[in-house]
Amino acid sequence: MDNYHKQDLKDFLHRVLSPTVLVLPTGDAEKVARKNELSFIDLLRPCSLVDTSPIAVHTTRDQPWRVPRMNIRFVESGEVEQAPEEFVDVVLDGVIASSASTAQGLIPEIKSKESAALVTQDKTERDLAPWFVDYREELQRGLRCSDHEYFDHPIAAILVVSSQEVDVISKLMALMSIDALPALFREGLMDPNMLKHYVLLHDNQEDGGARERAEESLRLMKETLGAPSCSLLCINSNEKGAAGPSDDIWTCHRPHAAKMDIPPLEENRRRGAFLSPADCDAITRFVSEFVTKSLVPHMDKRVTAVRKGIKNQFKSWGSSLFGKPSGEAGREGFIEGSEASGPIYLYTSTEGQIRALADLAFMLHDYDLALSHYKLVQGDFKRDKAWRHVAGASEMSAICHFMMLIRITATDNNDLRSAILYEQVRGGGGAQVRKYALHLVHAGHRYLKGGHKAHGLRCYLAALQVYETRNWTHIDDHLYSALAKHSIAMHMLPQAVSFYVKLLGNQEGKPAERQLIYLRDFALVMRQHCPQLVISDLRLPLIKDTGLSICRSEPNADEEAVSANLSKDCILTWSDLEEALVDARRWRERVRQSKSTLQNLRAALPEAAPRNKRCIVVDEETTFSLDLVNPLQIPLELNSFTLEYEFSSSSLPPPHQDVAVPKEVEWKEHEEESAMEIEQQDLTLEPSSRTRVSLHMKAKKEGWVRVKGVRWKLVGVVRCVHHFDLKGKRLNDSKARRMQREYQRDERLDMQCVPPMPRLQATVSGLPDTALYGEIVRCLLHVRNVGSRAACGLRLAVSHPAFFSRASGEAETVEYPQGYLSRKTNKHEEESVPLHPFDASWELEPPVLELCWGEKSVLEAGQAVAIPIWYRAHRPGAQNFKLLLHYTSTDSKSAMRYRLLRLEASQYVLPSLKTSVNLRSSASDMDRLTLALTVDCVLNSSSLSDNTPLSPMHEAAKGRSKAEASLKLLQVMCLSSRWRAMPLAQAGGTTQFSVAGGSKARRKHSLGQGSRTPQVVIYLQVTPSGDAEQKGMTNSSVSFTPDCKHMALSSSPLTGFFHYWEQRRFCLIHPLHDTRELQDDIGTRLVLLWSTSDSGRMGCVFLSCGEPESPARPDIDSLLYNHSDASLQKEHSFTRDGDKLARLAAHSLMEKQQLCPLQLRVEGPTDVTLEACGKPMVVPITILVSNSGWSQPLSISFEALAPSEAYGSTEGQAMVERSWDFEWGGCLRKSLKLQARERECVKLSVCVYRPGVYNLNRFRITFSQLQFPSQDFSASNFQHLLRVHAP
Amino acid sequence: MIECLCIIEKDNFPALLRVYSGGKDLNKYHYMCYCAIDIFEEKEQAARAGGVGKQVDSYLGTLYPAQEHKIHGYITNTGVRMVMILDEKDGKDGSLVKAFFKKLHSLHAECVSNPFHRDGQPIVSKKLERDLEALVRLWNSDAFSLR
């Protein structure tokens, strides 16, 4: 127990367990006092606390001590009787009820241990619970004068007589007579022989010798009754009308029961009107003197006397016990009572006297004495089975043991009493906050049961502070529901509603029946009491602000995150594409800086051009989607679910209000003529489910609209509003902001309503789901204007510029692909094309296609147009294309600068042909090269899946695509500034090429047959065209179709794609920051056209020969597309792993690499017949050696080898057996010096002995040139075969 | 007879509260269990003050007096508190109560070893429910023994 509590209780006990003084005024004396609207006893009560420190008290101790203060209880004769229990209950009820208003404001802020200590610090009981103090006092008063208690027995009596009366003495005697005393005295329960004090009350208002008469009476009294027990008290000395004490100090000291029936004052009457301050002082002095001079000494003496008397009595009682047995009837003052009430002890009984003695000792603070006598008398009572007396004595001994807390019993049937006691036992928090809360709940429960709602609510509220937010939701529910229910009964509607809101927000995972009851109650309350109230914090259903998405008719960068479909091969976002369309300058700069390591790249970039603000176009629909979560186990019905908005017709956005200021929520129905047209929905949310709701909104007027939130009617009754609380980006630029977690203001919900605009709908037709690598398709972009204004300036930004090309100016009627192949007279056509100027900054250009048609390219409202676009499958694999269509209104003053339309397509590109190029010197002509174009059909091959596992999409695509068995080769074109290509065999090369997966088809004039690979090798011979300085290129085209069809490279569809391919190749070779001299020539390029066997689909493959092996830096594509270009690797792979001659030839085309330019050819017969068996035969052979280089001279030594030399010594044994081998004849060694492009012949003869096939590759050529590190030119894979037939 | 079993996490979150007295006056048990936290905290504090070396028994005995109930407490090494509320007439001695708590402790340990169990969430486990039911039935039919 806290100290303050102890002190408080001590004071209380001293106050109630104090001497009682009976006040008995005569009728005349009472009249004198009544002049002041007060009774005589009222005059005494304010002075009841008397300073008794001057007098010493002895009782039985040796050392005297002093009682610091003493409280005197003045009672009227009417109060010396037992109060009826019902009356006490009524009084107590009144006490608690009257404090209801004070109780409301007194909710201690106790939530945890710390707060409990803080709250109870320096607080008295009266501060914390004033009603309790009153209740305690009244309860004590109500229990007065019970049979078993002796504290209320008057110790003294004050007899008051008025000085007006004639026979003072007889009046006093009459007052004192036993008949005039209260009944308890007559019954012998109380001792009538108490200390008596006589007061002569004199009214100063009386005049005409009254004072003298009073003096006379006093003298008479003193003579008769003894001087010390008589006093004169003069009051009413105030003149009539003079100002008396202004405050009413008397009525507040009245007991509560008396307070209740105070008659109201009449007009112009004042309590204590005739009492001057001197009178008040006189009364105080009188009481003080009475107590110090008469009462305390009397009590002191009485203790001593009674104790002695008891001792004597014990002696006699003891002797009588052991002497002659005396019956119970012989005991003085003992009356045997019934079973229920127990015996009665009169004041004359021993037990009664002991008890009275103990009480007196207690009042005089002699607790030891009191305790010993209480214990003494306890045993006696017990023996007599006087249980109530035992209890009374025990209680007093407990109090003597120093103030134990009253033990409560919850079984007490009196709700009020248990409530009060529970509340007191809580101990004001302290260490055990939870226990405190539990007691509060008990108290609240009992209060409510007893009908004291205000106190019950107060207790519950205080307890709620401890329980709330501690996750004990059952407890919370109980408190919330009780508080809500009783708040309603107390007509505290806002509070009740707030508790219902909390209760319903706390229902996740609770039983459905409960939820149903709570919800029904809430709806009922709202319907009955406040149907107009708008609730803004009800979390039914839960609305996730982050799940809000706004879908305008106009796409905006905001939605990027929501509809994020960032495929891994395309990192271009819609906003990048938008930038490419409207802000080409910034786009270029960004691409230029794409590899920059600048710290603050953003600062280096130019300012972004202004984009469209968040606009909604009048009469176009905007969709709000949000997630609603029903946390309950029961279906939730929402009516009129709609958006809450604010509209201003000004041209500026509405100002933001400070969020901190809570605004009055108002509910206004959407009107017919409002600025916005918003859909209302009636929803039923399934139990514990998440529902996505879309609301459509249409602007009707121009201006600004701010969507604030949503609102709905829960179960058709409760009006609820939810305001969105959206946060923008986290602000991190300063430490203060980082610490405070500031966010940018989210302006997504502020939208400008702009006048009508054109609105386009577009689709792309003709784009196949799957395409073959290199396939060219003509697609149509169907655009329809569904808006009310004309649109112009159509442009299309594409995420994959290599795949799309704008068709320029050809008739749409031409059938593709047949119409694009023109019949020529010859299979081999050549034409001269001007050199394309290449621009290294080409790669910075934004990937935008200008769309135009007709004359003005304006699309009127309601019109539709189909714009052809070429598509080429540039790269195998899955592709996700983003196409962004940009258009503007013809009205230049429109608030929206432009509008955008998003198109998306995805596609899978299957591999088709795998090509590689080989070059070798021509067998027939040293000036010519043979170009072998190897074409593999990988249509249905599994070669791709060897390295890369098939993706599911690939599988699906394969399943969808028509099984193409084979592809037809249509045409090959060779573009070079130095070389011309033509078919190898002019005469017979008309065979139609077709490459089929898994089957073989080969040109006849290849090296041999029998290879089973599904490939075609096309041989072209390549000859230098004129001189190297000639500007311009030769385009040699060879058609494989029987009707000599050619497709022109300079027109659609090839030109766009080819140009793009060339440009990119150029940019690869010459990076932007490359300081080397730019070359316009990027080598020899080949274009191979193919079609499917039914000629329905056509495509082309671009190839190049001779170029640097690896790109000097990653190209722009790999930055933007984040992938490696598959086709690119394929195309220059031959330079890495082709054979030596091929590398040589490649070198001769490019003349950059340091390779040996030597070429070798053997001329001579290939088939000879022996003349006779065993006879040697000599065959002349010429070996042609040429330097195919363009500038460098070449020194070599030629050596024809003997068989032993050729096969090495390791095979020495076997060599002997090979006597059938041939022998060289002629000049076996020769040194040669070859100038550039010079050739030399070495004439030799071969001697053979028997039939067979001989490989003549048995010679060695050694370089002796500085530039080439002495290199052995053993052309291992070079062979010239000589077949010798038998005769 | 067991009226209520409660497992309270270290952060005072009620992970499990089962009432076996017929579903009447559920709130009462919630209040009593919540109130028990006070005593747990006091005892923990006392144990801390007692020093590290002092071996503290997990079983804390009767926590606080309440009418018609006996409230027993148990605290695990990880600070999980367990409360068992018996009715007044239950006369089984402390060793049995302790044995019961040990069983309850091992059931709880088994349950939270489940990788799908999340701290700060109510315990949801069919096995635990079943085993608890069996244990309580055993106790209420006076068949619970020390073994």
A415 or B10, higher pLDDT? B10
Query: What tens-digit pLDDT sequence spans chain B (147 residues)?
Result: 898 999 999 888 999 998 988 767 888 899 999 989 988 888 888 888 776 555 568 888 888 877 788 899 999 988 899 999 998 888 788 889 999 999 999 999 999 998 988 888 888 889 999 999 999 999 988 888 876
**Taking CB atoms and an 8 Å cutoff, what residues of chain A touch B27?**
474-475, 478
Please answer yes or no on whether B37 and A434 come within 8 Å at the CB atom.
yes
3-state helix, strand, coil in chain A (%, to 5): 35, 25, 40
Q: Which of B33, B38, B71, B119 would you mutate first to test chain A, the one with the most A CBs within 10 A?
A: B38
Q: In whole angstroms, give the CA distance from residue A166 to residue A184.
A: 31
Backbone angles phi, psi at A929, to 5 degrees: -120, 150
Nearest to A362 by CA among A350, A374, A351: A374
Q: Do A1113 and A1087 touch, CB atoms closer than 8 A?
A: no
Residues of B in contact with A438 (CB under 8 A): 31-32, 34-35
On chain B, the residues whose CB falls within 8 A of the CB of A472 are: 14, 30, 34
Is A474's CB within 8 Å of B38's CB? no
Q: How do A750-754 and A864-872 pair as beta strands?
A: unpaired
pLDDT top residue among A793 and A1175? A793
Domain ranges of chain A: 3-83+153-300, 468-528, 770-891+900-1003+1012-1137, 1156-1285
- What are the tens digits of pLDDT across the range A136-168? 778 877 777 777 777 778 888 888 888 877 787
Contact in structure between A811 and A792 (CB atoms under 8 Å): no
Angle between helices A415-425 and A85-98 (to 10 degrees): 50
Residue A638 contacts B where some CB pair is shorter than 8 Å: no
State yes or no: pLDDT of A795 exceeds 60.
yes
Torsions phi, psi for A358 (to 5 deg): -60, -40
A–B: how many Cβ contacts below 8 A?
Answer: 43
Residue A1164 binned pLDDT confidence (cut-offs 50, 70, 90):
confident
Q: Do B30 and A437 touch (CB under 8 A)?
A: no
Cβ contact, residue pair A438, B13, below 8 Å: no
Query: What pLDDT is recorded for position A1031?
Result: 63
Average pLDDT over residues A1127-1136: 35
What tens digit of pLDDT does each residue of A664-688 get?
566 776 665 677 888 888 989 999 8
Q: Are A475 and B27 inside 8 Å of each other by CB?
A: yes
**H or E stretch at A125:** helix A125-128
Domains of chain B with CATH codes: 2-140 (3.30.450.70)
Nearest to A470 among B12, B26, B36 (CB): B12
Q: Are B31 and A441 a contacting pair at CB < 8 A?
A: yes
Q: Which of A314-318, A839-843, A892-896, A1087-1091 has the lowest mean pLDDT?
A: A314-318
Choice between B32 and A210, residue whose per-residue pLDDT is larger? B32
Q: Touching check for A475 and chain B: CB below 8 Å? A: yes
Cβ A433 vs Cβ A116: under 8 Å: yes
Query: Does residue A115 carry a pLDDT above 50?
Result: yes
Q: Above 80 in pLDDT, residue A430?
A: no
pLDDT computed for residue A1091 by the predictor? 83
What are A1026-1049's pLDDT values in tens digits?
Answer: 554 556 777 888 887 777 788 888
Between residues A422 and A170, the one the model is more confident about: A170
Give residue B55's identity as a one-letter amino acid code.
Q
CA nearest A865: which of A793, A784, A972, A959? A784
Q: Is the pLDDT of residue A786 over 70?
A: yes
Which range, of A1007-1016, A1113-1122, A1133-1142, averages the lowest pLDDT?
A: A1113-1122
* pLDDT value of position B54: 57
- Rounded to a whole number of angstroms, the distance from the CA of A405 to the nearest CA of chain B is 16
pLDDT the model gives residue A1106: 53
Q: What is the pLDDT of residue B81?
A: 93
Q: Is B31 close to A475, i.e. CB distance below 8 A?
A: yes
| CA atoms of A1056 and A1048, how far apart (whole Å) | 12
Average pLDDT over residues A513-533: 89
* Largest Cα–Cα separation, chain B: 44
| Of the ranges A261-275, A680-694, A967-981, the best mean pLDDT one | A680-694
Q: Give the chain A residue whose CA is nearest to the CA of B45.
A: A431
Judged by CB atoms closer than 8 Å, whether chains meet at A431 and B64 is answered as: no
User: Which residues in chain B have Cβ-Cβ distances shorter than 8 Å to A411?
Assistant: 67
Question: Which of A435, A441, A509 lies nearest to residue B38, judging by beta carbons?
Answer: A435
Chain B interface, mutation test: which of A412, A418, A432, most B Cβ atoms within 10 Å? A432
Query: What percent of the residues of chain B are helix, what percent strand, and what percent coil, each to the nearest 5?
Result: 40, 20, 40
Sheet with A1272-1273: list strands edge to edge: A1229-1234, A1194-1200, A1259-1263, A1272-1273
> How close does chain B come to A672, measured CA to CA in Å?
50
The confidence band for A1216, taking pLDDT boundaries of 50, 70 and 90, is: very low
What local confidence, expressed as pLDDT, does residue A399 receive? Answer: 78
Q: How far is residue A598's CA from residue A395's CA, in Å, rounded to a whole number?
A: 90
The neighbour count for residue A999, using CB atoms within 10 Å, is: 12
State the smallest CA–CA distance between residue B94 and chain A in angstroms.
24
**Minimum distance, in Å, between the CA of residue A949 and any CA atom of chain B:** 35
Most A CBs within 10 A among B30, B39, B41, B123, hence the mutation to make, goes to: B30
Count, residues in chain B = 147
For the stretch A911-963, pLDDT in tens is 888 777 776 666 566 566 777 777 877 765 443 433 444 455 555 555 544 55
Q: How far is A472 from chain B (nearest CA, A)?
A: 7
Look at residue A562 and tell me whether its pLDDT is greater than 50: no
Mutant choice from B12, B25, B32, B35 vs A, greatest count of A C-beta within 10 A: B35
Q: What residues in B contact A474, CB-CB < 8 Å?
A: 17, 26-27, 30
Best A433, A474, A514 member to test B by mutation, with max B CBs in 10 Å, is A474
Read off the pLDDT of residues A594-647 as tens digits, 9 standing for 90 and up.
766 766 667 777 777 777 777 888 888 888 888 999 989 999 999 889 888 888
**Rounded Cα–Cα distance for residues A821 and A262 (Å):** 122
Taking any CB pair shorter than 8 Å as contact, residues of chain B touching chain A are 12-14, 17, 26-27, 30-32, 34-39, 42, 64, 67, 122
Cα–Cα dist A1090/A464, whole Å: 83
Across A1232-1255, average pLDDT: 81
Q: Which chain A residue's Cα is nearest to B41?
A: A432
Residues of A in contact with B122 (CB under 8 A): 509
| Percent of chain A at pLDDT exceeding 70 | 73
Query: What is the average pLDDT value for chain A, to the nearest integer?
Result: 74
Cβ separation A474–B17 shorter than 8 A:
yes
Going by the DSSP 8-state scheme, the letter that residue A292 receives in this structure is I
CB contact (8 A) between residue A474 and residue B27: yes
Distance from CA of A542 to the nearest CA of B (A): 20
Q: Which of A351-365, A456-470, A1130-1144, A1160-1174 has the highest mean pLDDT?
A: A456-470
Percentage above 90 pLDDT, chain A: 2
Q: In what order do the strands lie in the sheet with A1223-1226?
A: A1158-1163, A1177-1187, A1239-1248, A1223-1226
Q: Which of residues 420-449 of A touch B (CB under 8 A)?
A: 431-435, 437-438, 441
Q: How far is CA A1254 from the centre of its chain?
A: 85
Coil vs helix vs strand at B85 = strand
Is the confidence at residue A1134, as pLDDT, over 50? no
> What was the pLDDT predicted at B147?
67
**Domain A1156-1285 is classified in which CATH homologous superfamily?**
Immunoglobulins (2.60.40.10)
Read off the pTM: 0.56
